[in-house]
């Protein structure tokens, strides 16, 4: 988006050393926007990255309600089990609890 920095490299080397991100491995990822400028990424219930945007905050003209999910051109395939979009930022504790519940469902063999 114009005037907002592009951020890459969310996962650092330490993250890759502790998480199995190969194809077919199930992981829970949450992206939380707070106050139109704070962005946090959680993987498997743990905050792995947070940043406060520089340049400017998000605004209505950025069309943040338009969400594109899936592989970028030529990128790896992505399969989504569930997408939740909430009208408030969730807390780290809420994300951790949700992740634990989903992991328990998976371990129990639950599927819909």
pLDDT, tens digit, 9 for 90 and up, residues 35-91: 877 889 898 898 988 888 777 777 788 776 666 655 566 656 667 777 788 888 899
Yes or no: say if 42 and 48 are a contact pair by the CB < 8 Å rule.
Answer: yes
Yes or no: say if 102 and 110 are a contact pair by the CB < 8 Å rule.
Answer: no
* pLDDT of 97 over the 90 cut: yes
Which pLDDT does position 112 carry in this prediction? 58
What is the C-alpha end-to-end distance of the chain, expressed in Å? Answer: 37
Where is 92: in which H helix or E strand? Answer: helix 92-107
70 compared with 2, residue with greater pLDDT: 2
Class of residue 47 by CB neighbours under 10 A (exposed 0-12, middle 13-18, buried 19+): middle
Which pLDDT does position 65 carry in this prediction? 64
Highest mean pLDDT among 4-18, 21-35, 92-106: 92-106
């Amino acid at each position: 988006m114009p005037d907002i920095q592009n951020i890459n490299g969310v996962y650092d080397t330490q993250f890759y050393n502790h998480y199995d991100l190969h194809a077919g491995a199930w992981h829970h990822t949450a992206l939380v926007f707070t106050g139109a400028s704070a962005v946090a990424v959680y993987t498997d219930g743990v905050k792995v990255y947070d940043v406060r945007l520089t340049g400017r905050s998000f605004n209505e003209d950025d069309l943040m309600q338009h969400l594109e999910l899936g592989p970028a051109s030529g990128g790896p395939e992505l399969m989504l089990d569930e997408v939740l979009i909430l009208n408030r930022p969730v807390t780290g504790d809420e994300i951790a609890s949700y992740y634990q519940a989903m992991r328990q469902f998976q371990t129990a063999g639950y599927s819909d």
